[in-house]
Amino acid sequence: MQLLSTGQAAKLCSVTPDAVLKWIKAGKVRAQRTAGGHYRIQRESLETLLGDKGELRVERPSERAASPPSRFCWEFYSQDGALRADCQQCLVYRSRALRCFEMSHLGEADGYKGTFCETSCDRCSYFRSFRPAPIRVLVVTNSETVERSLRQSDDGWFDFRFTGCEYDCSALVGSFRPECIVVDCALPPDQCQALCRHLSADPRVSGTTILLTTSPEQEGVRPRFGFAELGEPLSVQSLRRRLEELGAATERSLSGALAARPRLECALLPL
């Protein structure tokens, strides 16, 4: 019996992962949960559903064309497949970094040559071809200022959802499946403490990075979890830097990077 993740099932059936989740909840396909709370779907059940409905046939792995190999920036800009001499001296090539744009903040003194960086990353043809999908971030706050600021400054790296209550947070964890949760410690102390306790015990966020925002005035009320300080206001840029510092690189394999982290990773972000 072959088991598939919701993402694999969605790809095979040419539907969205949400559609697969609806099938599971409606009892149309058989699935089981892992220790981390993720669904694993029986392939036979999926094929039966599609066969009965006369929908798109699920292809076997042997029937699908092989995926093209991942291309690095030095391969993308190679000359007829030959590695350029200037690329050989670049830190990106020497470290075999998966994505050069994750190292673009480094300078030439650090070994980053930036041979093809004629414009910003947003305008680079390689970046546009390989840029990851936005990181799903759930922000728990009752501050309209925080929500407005994050929405207005979002540069496409994040897909934000906002809520101000514990119940909606739990619902969004199930439906939105965030890769990162930001809890605003400006919430009432009791609410903030209860929310953090529930998140720490929720198996659905076993691979999720959880960040706690705070300010000096809230020193005595913040929940007692492990913290890492960030000496700048909460913003899209500071959030991205914090995730990078925590080792959650902003490539599409972020989910895998987060899954390898401790179940509850808390960091401290000032407002």
For a pLDDT cut of 90, what percent of the chain falls above it? 2
Residue 247: pLDDT band with limits 50, 70, 90: low
Mean pLDDT along residues 101-124: 78
Whether 264 has a pLDDT exceeding 50, the answer reads: no
What's the confidence (pLDDT) of residue 138?
92
Distance of alpha carbon 6 from alpha carbon 154, whole angstroms: 28
Helix boundaries (H) for 14-66: 17-25, 43-53
Radius of gyration of the chain (CA): 22
**pTM greater than the 0.75 cutoff:** no
Highest-confidence segment of 97-106, 178-187, 205-214, 242-251: 178-187
**Which tokens hold the place of 270?**
């000032």
What's the confidence (pLDDT) of residue 38?
74
Task: List Cα–Cα distances, 211 to 138, 255, 260, in angstroms.
Answer: 10, 16, 17
User: 151: left (phi > 0), else alpha (psi -120 to 50), else beta?
Assistant: alpha
Higher pLDDT among residues 132 and 141, named by residue? 141
Higher pLDDT among residues 182 and 54, named by residue? 182
Identify the bridge partners of residue 162 per DSSP, sorted by sequence position.
139
What's the confidence (pLDDT) of residue 66?
38
pLDDT tens by residue, 183-198? 887 788 888 888 888 8
Task: List Cα–Cα distances, 192 to 158, 181, 189, 207, 223, in angstroms.
Answer: 23, 13, 5, 21, 7
Whether 123 has a pLDDT exceeding 50, the answer reads: yes
41-50: list long-range contacts, CB under 8 Å, 24+ apart. 41/3, 41/4, 41/5, 41/6, 41/9, 42/1, 42/2, 42/3, 42/4, 43/1, 43/2, 43/3, 43/4, 44/1, 44/2, 46/4, 46/9, 46/12, 46/13, 49/23, 50/13
Whether 73 has a pLDDT exceeding 50, the answer reads: yes
pLDDT tens by residue, 3-59? 778 877 777 776 777 778 888 888 888 888 776 667 788 777 777 776 644 443 444
Write down the mean pLDDT value for the chain.
72
Domains by residue range for the chain, with CATH = 3-63 (1.10.1660.10), 73-130 (no CATH), 135-270 (3.40.50.2300)
